[in-house]
Chain A
């Protein structure tokens, strides 16, 4: 070991922490995924010509693309890629947060009824007042937020009344999600004039995306992400149980409410623009745990970045695999997510009751 000039030897034990190198790799990965997904698409523009277009935009030179082709890149592809990233980040960090709050490895915004609650509430707003749906602060995001909180609260209360175990909570979540989705479908069927508008996102689609959707979600997801990253250490404390957490001087109830609000906000913002996309909240946080450690100080920020990457890739497959037809993105995430769910279930056997 090289001698140091000062006597400030670092402690030999190190906590699990987000190391700068890991963060840099994750951010570079995200930039790479965004770039590739923007360069390649269903419309065959040729990636070299897209690179030339980007270069032309930066330097003010001449672009090889026509105005229509340039619009495909800037007005269709790029916002869609960015929105996929935002939605993926939101769902993955919400999944991680729900898992921490409920001490339940299988918790996920989709399975807890949060997504279904947001979807139902958003549908009701779309049907009742289709003209207000584009507002950043307005009835649609607020209703989706309230719906997400309502859904997860209902699941939690029902789960607790039936014993409160891991499996019971998920069963309650399945029942709540089915019920809220049924209400949503019912409301839709009564209002066939807006059915197309509702249907486009209910299947889980990012194909109607523009910059407007990015603007609608960005503030909410940023806020939720900031709160969850700040609360990550407290989620580690919650993991030892409420009595012990309280004996360590924190208020478990208060932490739980703050985290639930932030996770519901992220879920609502994601669902309001993309519909119901499952399994992101399971796949990404568990992949992070396997690769980088189980402390929430690593799991929350890396889920955010990993979720963005995961959903951009999934959406890329959705829009290019059978171009010009699109596969619903929920189908792609379920293809990877459902087997992963079973894997996580097996890994945690003995703990799920």
Chain B
């Protein structure tokens, strides 16, 4: 069964529709990347799925409409990290990751020992144990992104919505982070929906791409089906070449005419 199904979803701020009439099925354990030029509505669509932006149409989690779920119940099923997460400066890594346990706690209750054990496991898994007591403003960019991912994982939701998880990371750190997400997906059966700027990385990590342009789905399918030169040139207004490396990796690279 599909972990996530969107049926005619239109995400809107008030009366302004930002992403329109999106249909997609995301099988359990797969990775969907939402791609598209700036302002296409990628982030807004994610926010509609997580329920912080209003939407028309139906969002189904394993066949159940999210509209029927309470806020905390939904938060136990969907974890979300925004494009620019706010990390309160002087909070410790442990305190921040512990916030991921919020949907598992009654509103005014304090955390249990089992919550701390989950936090500890997640920190160990993301190689953050040595930073547990550090305050957030002392972390490097890569450490910050991993800490945010730890907060998402502590939520123990089956569906991870990651809005540009590699923002601000160099190519090595970006790769490491995506490998980590991919491992969680294969080892724990998590389903991933992410927006990604980098088309090459999205081709290498996602099973399915959804290309949005100005709020409309203009292409949907495997990376090979979506990332073709005419499609990219039309919707990104970019000059590109799409190559396949010897080991079968798809690479999208910008091209430039030689100067006369």
A interface with B by C-beta (< 8 Å): 10-16, 103, 230-231, 233-234, 236-237, 239-244, 246-251, 289, 293-295, 297, 348, 351
Contacts and interface: CB of A to CB of B under 8 A. Distances in A.
Contacts of A242: 52
A247 B85 CA distance: 12
Given A11-B113, A15-B98, A294-B90, A248 B103 contact: yes
Contacts of A247: 50-52, 75, 78-80
A15 B91 CA distance: 10
B71 interface: yes
12 contacts: A13-B119, A14-B116, A15-B111, A103-B86, A234-B108, A236-B88, A239-B86, A246-B50, A246-B52, A247-B50, A248-B155, A249-B73
Contacts of B72: 249-250
A295 B117 contact: no
Contact of A244 (B70, B80, B94, B116): B80
B157 to A, nearest CB: 10
Contacts of B50: 243, 246-247
Interface residues of B, number: 48
B67 to A, nearest CB: 15
Nearest to A348: B89
A246 B52 CA distance: 6
B82 A241 contact: yes
B91 A239 contact: yes
Given A15-B116, A244-B82, A237 B102 contact: yes
Contacts of B99: 236-237, 240, 248
A297 B50 CA distance: 27
A248 B100 contact: yes
Given A248-B99, A250-B71, A12 B52 contact: no
B52 A295 contact: no
Interface in B107-127: 107-108, 110-111, 113, 116-117, 119-120, 123
Interface in B21-76: 47, 50-52, 70-76
B241 interface: no
Contacts of A246: 50-52, 71
A52 to B, nearest CB: 45
B239 to A, nearest CB: 35
Contacts of B88: 236, 239-240, 294
B90 A13 contact: no
B91 A249 contact: no
Nearest to A16: B95
A294 B134 CA distance: 12
Contacts of A348: 89
B220 interface: no
Contact of B120 (A11, A249, A251): A11
Contacts of A250: 71-72, 102, 107
A251 B105 CA distance: 14
A248 B102 contact: yes
A251 B116 contact: no
A272 B14 CA distance: 42
A293 B93 CA distance: 12
B95 A243 contact: no
Contacts of A16: 91-92, 94-95
Contacts of A12: 120, 129, 132
A351 B90 CA distance: 13
B92 A293 contact: yes
A11 B86 contact: no
B167 interface: no
B102 A295 contact: no
Contacts of B71: 246, 249-251
A346 B65 CA distance: 49
A13 B94 contact: yes
Among A103, A293, A297, the one with the most B-chain Cβ atoms within 10 Å of its Cβ is A293
Given A13-B120, A237-B102, A295 B76 contact: no
A249 B116 contact: no
Question: Which are the 8 A-B pairs with shortest beta-carbon distances?
Answer: A249-B75, A294-B90, A249-B72, A249-B103, A247-B80, A11-B116, A239-B88, A248-B102
A167 B82 CA distance: 25
B135 interface: yes
Contacts of B74: 249
Nearest to B123: A13
A249 B102 contact: yes
A10 to B, nearest CB: 8
Most chain A CB within 10 A, of B86, B119, B132, B133, is at B86
B82 A13 contact: no
Contacts of B70: 249
A241 B86 contact: yes
A323 to B, nearest CB: 41
Contact of B91 (A231, A241, A295): A295
Contacts of A297: 110
A9 to B, nearest CB: 10
B9 to A, nearest CB: 17
Contacts of A234: 107-108
B193 to A, nearest CB: 13
Contacts of B91: 16, 236, 239, 294-295
A10 B115 CA distance: 12
Interface string B239-255: 00000000000000000
Contacts of A351: 89
Given A230-B108, A247-B51, A294-B90, 18 more contacts: A11-B119, A13-B116, A13-B120, A14-B94, A14-B116, A15-B92, A15-B116, A15-B119, A16-B95, A234-B107, A234-B108, A240-B87, A243-B82, A244-B86, A249-B103, A289-B90, A293-B95, A294-B135
